[in-house]
Amino acid sequence: MGTVVSVATPAAVSAESATGRNETAGARGTAAAAVERVFAGLDARFSLYRPDSEASKLARGEITLRKASAELLDRYADAAGWRLLTGGAFTPERPDGVLDLSGIIKGYAILRAGAALRALGLEAWCLNAGGDVLVSGSPAPGSGASWHTGIVDPADRMGLAAAFPLGGTSRFCSLATSGSAERGDHIWTAGTGRADFVQVSVAAADIVTADVLATAIMAGGRPMLDRATDNWDVEVLAISADGGLLATPGFRATS
């Protein structure tokens, strides 16, 4: 998916013995392998950068949606549903008509990877895929403390624009950021073609909602920002090209 994926887990509560440390390292290696399998499998099917993927074959007209896999059709149905919910600000098609599900697949991959970590019995972790974050539990198990996630300043990639707590006692466990500062203009804007924001971060209870709405607000601008905050339980930080900030109360309280 053209991004870096990392998994952080709390330090072992008790790892004084060499055996304890080896077991901890083994568990982390197993967790990383499980996450890698999820992302590699979805990348192999949905990446338009891979000529052998199902998505690329569909884009070239070698197969039709009628012959597509159940998984691709399910994700297309999800994306089409989000298009309706966002009034067209989020769309599964590129301007040239090619089906491109990348706007929903990364969030879905993170969701699946989180499920894989839970299946291994891991209760506390922070999963970061290119700045989109899903957490579980607390970095200090038993304390109720939250994971503190930083949001990079689009004008200064070495600095932070804000930080936001996830997990622990927070009602949110997901944060997604979309923008043009790092990857260039890769989001299709609705209406005028001019983006209102250079970066949008959305905190939500689930990663797919956060990921989709961050992309939709980037594409739909201020009207979509208002629509998102009116219709979903989210917190939003939007940054304009001149450095101006629009932040919901949750971000204002933590920034």
> What is the average pLDDT across 25-45?
87
> What is the average pLDDT across 229-253?
92
Q: How far is CA 107 from CA 91, 122, 156, 178, 241, in A?
A: 15, 20, 25, 12, 26
Q: pLDDT for 88-103, tens place per residue?
A: 999 999 988 999 999 9
**Amino acid identity at 185:** D
What is the reported pLDDT for 174? 98
Indicate the SS3 state at residue 70.
Answer: helix
DSSP string computed for 139-160: SSTTS-PPEEEEEEETTEEEEE
Q: Which of 164, 169, 255, 157 is nearest to 210 (CA)?
A: 164
pTM, full prediction: 0.88
> What is the average pLDDT across 18-46?
78
What's the topology of domain 5-254?
Answer: T-fold (3.10.520)
What is the reported pLDDT for 24? 57
| Confidence category of residue 142, pLDDT binned at 50, 70, 90 | confident
Please state, in angstroms and rounded to a whole number, the distance separating the CA atoms of residues 71 and 63.
15
Q: Is it the case that residue 11 has pLDDT exceeding 90?
A: no
> What is the average pLDDT across 168-187?
77
